[in-house]
Amino acid sequence: MNHSSPKDSHWSLGTFGLFDIAVALIEAESGDWGEDVGANLFLEESLQMVKREAENMALLCGQRTGERARVYSIVGHWSAAIRDANHYENLSKFADVWIIGVPDCDLNIPGVVAVPVPRGGVLQSERGVIVESNSFGCTMFARVAGVLNPDDPSSTYYEGLITVRQDAVEIAAGRLASVLKLAPLAKRWVDYELVTNWYSRLNRLILETLEASRLQLRAKEDEVGKMLEEQDRLEKLVRGYVGGETWREVRDAMSMKQEDVADRTREEFTVCFCDLVGFTKLSERLTPVEVTQILNDHFARLYNIVRVHGGTVDKFIGDAILAYFPSPIEAFEAAKKMVQESRSVRLNSDWTLPIQVRVGLNTGFVALANLGVPEMRQRTILGETVNFAQRMQSAAAPHSVLISDKTLRVLPHNLIRSVEPVMVQIKGRREPVEAYLWTLSTERREQVHDQLSLRTGLMATSQRNSLADRLKRSREENR
């Protein structure tokens, strides 16, 4: 530790800082303040609170003993002292006050001496207060350690030390007294009751500040939690109206800070249309509420089928559903389930109504585009592939799946064995179009055929085994 004499005059406010005193003392006081200087961190508001408490103790010391203390307040810039002008003016009644900082305004506080430091010097980045009197003395050294938020100056934090050790007070005050050409104070005595009371009060204030910060943090965490819950509810609500695949695309566009979702002009999908047969006449005998209940029960079943098979529901159109699948195999399996599981709809717990559906499938390239205006958009698939799938559905018989030739070409052989070729009249086409029909009957017929083939094979195997047994017995008899 450098115990410089107050008589040394080679010190300059532009060449030295006081924080090195804290660095030298930290090892001696490690039991109270941590093992290294970085362990004792202050935020700006905590730093101001400690500074004010040290200056308040100078007031109390003067009021209690009648002696004038010396207070060196390192503020960084004079404007920081202007905000506390009344406090410093009151302090100057009981103490000699020196405000040390970079001139950035006119500092004219009665009884206060403004001490300018060079801009960019060491003391500009330091904060602190040194109180020296015959009966009480304390020092706080702090240096800027970083900024939590570059956009918020109040989030600056400091590393430093608070102490009432006599040698620390004398060294710090002696350096400043030397450069300011002040006479040193007479050897002082320590008012231990004052020191103990101040430390106790300071510790309590620090704990209260930490507790207040903890409560504020908890309140912010609760607020953030509520915001996240509201965001989740909003996301679920919006996703229910926008749709799964479209919602994912919108979310990705938002994360990439895009203003809209780009169109995809050439995507190959298998398009599926599923429609209720004769529902218009049925709905004439029902109320709007009952129609809504029937359609929601029906659409819930279809939506789950599409989702399980990796498809996307594009939209609900009246009593029809439009979906698309990346895999034609999954599209065909989903279409069969739509027919198999759509036998009735539930109106309430005691009333179910029989229904029939028909499905059209077509495979080809489509555009996934945004329709509408910026205030109201719909993301949907477009193209001749979609139109032809809808016409295939219109031409299908109740409880059947009508498959286009393009879809059949990409299906494996084990699936197309359960369909049969048909000629159908398609709207917009002069000549009948060859398509392929799947019904529960064609499925059962193929299953029966498979069972007969298996039985025939088993019988042939049984006969061969019987003949082999006879030959074996004949050989044994000949021996």
What percent of the chain has a predicted confidence (pLDDT) above 90? 24
Q: Which residue has the higher pLDDT, 238 or 414?
A: 414
First-to-last CA distance in the chain?
Answer: 118
**Spacing of C-alpha 385 from chain mean position:** 39
CA 365 to mean position of chain CA atoms: 36
In this structure, what is the dihedral angle of CA atoms 205, 208, 214, 217, given to the nearest 10 degrees?
A: -80
* Cα-Cα-Cα-Cα dihedral sign, residues 275, 290, 246, 340: negative
What value does the mean pLDDT take over residues 183-210?
A: 80
Where do the domains of the chain lie, and which CATH numbers do they carry? 19-190 (3.30.870), 263-456 (3.30.70.1230)
Flag whether pLDDT at 456 surpasses 60. Answer: no
Q: pTM value?
A: 0.49
Q: What is residue 188's DSSP assignment?
A: P
Whole-angstrom Cα distance, residue 33 to residue 86? 32
pLDDT at 213 over 80: no
Is residue 64 over pLDDT 90?
no
3-state secondary structure of 109: coil
Beta strands, E only, 408-470: 420-424, 433-439
Amino acid at 270: T
pLDDT tens for each residue of 102-112: 999 999 999 99
Reported confidence tier of residue 6, pLDDT bands at 50, 70, 90: very low
Q: How many CB atoms lie within 10 A of CB 316?
A: 15
Give all strands of the β-sheet with 69-77 in edge-to-edge order.
41-43, 156-163, 137-147, 126-132, 69-77, 95-102, 112-116
Q: How far apart are CA 176 and CA 125, in angstroms?
A: 17
Alpha-carbon distances of 37 from 34, 122, 129, 169, 469, rounded to whole Å: 7, 17, 17, 18, 97
326-364 pLDDT per residue, tens: 999 999 999 999 998 888 887 776 777 888 899 999 999
Averaged pLDDT, 141-168: 82
Give the residue from 268, 267, 414, 392 showing the smallest Cα distance to 335: 392
